Structure 1
């Protein structure tokens, strides 16, 4: 079994990043986490997380007070879900951050 883990910084200021973790065997992803995190008020805040906890692929949209909105992914394989998660977070992280910060100010 192979484990991969790395960070992808999304800004030159290093204030937004993806935390990526996966376990693979023979090219198949067995479990994964792809989490978008933002530096807000001097702390790394999880904003959106895709993972396979609880035995299924899903998306957690975090709220500033700690609650999460869970959305199942109806994607055929963990490999495809992992790719989708990475592409979605790279494309939409600014909107996710904006939505989180709007809730943070309430």
Structure 2
């Protein structure tokens, strides 16, 4: 079963959540922090289950992965829950850091 939704954290800042379940277990997921700067949407960071293991990708202003953090001690369901909580709790930090990077380039 596929599920997809958006959470609005504040004006122009949202979380995109997509996951698949099979027999009650999360088999795949993606959670993205997206924010609009000067009218353009940017993907700031992403959690996903690609490469066979849950991980977080920190993205630069070109959308390229600058750092990958692996969570091989979590299953996909645990990682999905953690990803949503982390972004809700820390989006202001992630957003400010990204805005700083935008000014540098």
TM-score normalised by the chain length of structure 1: 0.92
RMSD of the TM alignment (CA)?
Answer: 1.0
Partner of 1:8: 7
Runs (4 or more) in structure 1 with deviation over 6 Å come to none
Contact preservation (8 Å) 1:75, 1:81: no
Instruction: Please say if 1:53 is aligned against 2:50.
Output: yes
Partner of 1:90: 88
1:33 to 30, 33, 36: 30
Residues 35-83 of structure 1 deviation map (CA, whole Å, 9 limit, x = unaligned)? 0000112111000100011211110011113321211113331110110
SS in 1 for 2:63: coil
SS in 1 for 2:73: coil
TM-score normalised by the chain length of structure 2: 0.93
Using the TM superposition, give the Cα deviation of residue 84 of structure 1 relative to its aligned residue in structure 2, in angstroms.
0.4
Contact preservation (8 Å) 2:3, 2:20: yes
Contact preservation (8 Å) 1:29, 1:78: yes
Aligned residues: 103
Instruction: Name structure 2 gaps, 5 residues minimum.
Output: none
Instruction: Please say if 1:24 is aligned against 2:21.
Output: yes
